[in-house]
Structure 1
């Protein structure tokens, strides 16, 4: 019948519920993924994928092992949790590797990564656009590159040498362009509906133009802004 969900869509929804529930129960116990994986007798990478918002549909053995380790019934394991609150996270990948970065995104239940680098290329393995997008897709996180929110090359020095007022003023003029306004609209829409990590390189948000992006979107949407742990 038209309008009824397909088997695949129902399975995906069920996997998303399981992902959220396992994460909630694990965190309530104060366990890391490694601890839960050990208790359940499953591979840590399997658990990462289970918790990745429906990235996989685990088999009965895995589900049963998780229920036993968490001391809950199978019915309780599939009880839907309260939806995560939308918002913004400030994400700099300086000093991180791709695995720890993705783990941090999962811990914060990030649903969308908005890349605000002008040119999404990196010497750090895994952080260039294509590889990053693939790594995020593998765990069920959407990736979008917002080029209109990138900082021009000739405006980067002020953020590095302490001329922050001048650098931010120049970047705000970039945001007033048609492309900048269009991408701000896209990011604002994401922030109203999802948990969004705004990505650039610098660990310190104060030395990065994304601080201006986050401030602007917060004013538009009132979405809370948090640092990515």
Structure 2
């Protein structure tokens, strides 16, 4: 089953949506703890409406986002610390429920996990993907929207 990830750090909203459409994504799963952004077009309401206009469903699974201390570690380049914090967070019941929901969504339709970081290797979404792959045979494509 195909599964994609995408980060919007270096791309405008229109390019991210173009990339999702070109990859055949049917549902975007926002895995940010806080679905707000200083980047234009990436706060929950506007992003959701723009995706809907493009024929892509938007789902926000907040419990699959990194807790504040994990985001702080990531910003400082401490990926191992962020990973440890996020791994502990993923063990919590609400995160487990939302992980199961993400798996069910991705089994039914082509989905993409969205977060900020352009490079999936330094982002918690790569950990979410690992957990999803432990449950199902997902083939993962890390989409790279270019800047305009």
Unaligned runs of 5+ in 2: none
Q: Please state if 1:174 is matched with 2:89.
A: yes
* Mapping 1:179-190, distance limit 5 Å: 179-190=94-105
CA-based RMSD of the aligned residues comes to 1.2
Of the three residues 52, 56, 64, the one matched with 1:149 is 64
- In structure 2, the residue corresponding to 1:180 is in which secondary structure? helix
Aligned to 1:223: 138
Q: If each structure's strand is expressed as a fraction of its own residues, which one has the higher value?
A: 2
C-alpha distance in structure 1 between counterparts of 2:11 and 2:80, whole Å: 28
The 3-state SS of whatever aligns with 1:156 is helix
Q: Which has the higher contact order (CA 8 A, sep 6+)?
A: 2
Q: Rg larger in 1 or in 2?
A: 1
Q: What is the CA–CA distance in structure 2 between the aligned matches of 1:101 and 1:140, rounded to whole Å?
A: 14
1:4-153 aligned at under 5 Å gives the runs 86-153=1-68
How far apart are residue 144 of structure 1 and its match?
0.3
SS in 2 for 1:90: strand
Higher helix share: 1
CA drift of 1:169 comes to 1.8
Query: Where do 5+ consecutive residues of structure 1 fail to align?
Result: 1-85
So what's the TM-score if we normalise by structure 2? 0.92
Cα distance between partner residues in 2 of 1:203 and 1:96: 9
State the shift of 1:175 in Å. 0.8
Q: Which residue of 1 aligns with 2:126?
A: 211
Q: Distance in 2 between matches of 1:221 and 1:191?
A: 10
1:168 alignment partner, SS class: helix
Q: Deviations over 1:187-219 (max 9, x none)?
A: 000121211110000001122111111111111
Write the distance in 1 (CA, Å) between the matches of 2:78 and 2:51. Answer: 34
